[in-house]
């Protein structure tokens, strides 16, 4: 009849977890940053800019996609301030703002490489394991 109860030890653990959490605003802002990395096209843009400063048209060539699509993704990255821009003639050159982006990219790649190494039943995107 009664609701399930926690022991005092379990309650303590939960209190510690709740206390240790980042606040919701910080988590929302972090999620926004990760969202920039969470789309294959945007990730390819980031990957490209990790290699070289590029203008919008360069990116359309590299990514083989339409200019408005590229611009939209760049706008997204601009709003989260992951990229900075400078004008050069008629073009606008995009580059990455700081080294954390490279670190995030590298750690993720390393993670995949290492898990592939130890676990050969690797899954593929969009499919069930």
Binding site for DNA (CB under 7 A): 2, 4, 35, 38-39, 41-42, 55-57, 65-69, 71-76, 85, 87, 89-92
Do 49 and 99 contact (CB within 8 A), yes or no?
no
Q: In the complex, what is the shortest distance from the CB of residue 52 to DNA, in angstroms, rounded to a whole number? A: 14
**Within the chain, where are the H helices?**
8-20, 24-37, 40-51, 56-63, 67-79, 99-118
The total of other beta-carbon atoms located within 10 Å of residue 40's CB is: 9
End-to-end CA distance of the chain: 41
CA distance 33 to 102: 13
- The single residue listed with the structure tokens 């988590």 is 27
The single residue among 67, 89, 105, 120 that binds a second copy, judged by CB under 8 A, is 105
Q: In the complex, what is the shortest distance from the CB of residue 2 to a second copy, in angstroms, rounded to a whole number? A: 15
In the bound state with a second copy, the residue whose beta carbon lies nearer, of 68 and 79, is: 79
In the bound state with DNA, the residue whose beta carbon lies nearer, of 88 and 114, is: 88
In the bound state with a second copy, the residue whose beta carbon lies nearer, of 26 and 68, is: 26
Assigned token pair, 11? 């309650």
Residues that bind a second copy (CB under 8 A): 4, 10, 13-14, 16-18, 20-22, 24-35, 37-40, 42-44, 47-48, 51-52, 54, 57-58, 61-62, 79, 81, 98, 100-101, 103-105, 107-112, 114-115, 119, 123-126, 128-129
């Amino acid at each position: 009849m009664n609701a399930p109860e926690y022991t005092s030890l379990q309650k303590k653990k939960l209190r510690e977890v709740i206390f240790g959490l980042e606040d919701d605003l910080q988590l929302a802002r972090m999620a926004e940053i990760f969202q920039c990395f969470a789309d294959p096209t945007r990730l390819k843009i980031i990957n490209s800019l990790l290699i070289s400063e590029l203008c919008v048209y360069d990116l359309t060539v590299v990514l083989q996609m339409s200019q408005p699509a590229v611009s939209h993704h760049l706008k997204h990255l601009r709003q989260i301030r992951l990229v900075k821009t400078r004008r050069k003639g008629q073009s606008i050159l995009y580059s990455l703002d700081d080294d954390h982006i490279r670190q995030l990219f590298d750690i993720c790649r390393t993670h995949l490489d290492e898990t592939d190494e130890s676990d050969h039943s690797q899954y593929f995107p969009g499919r069930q394991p």
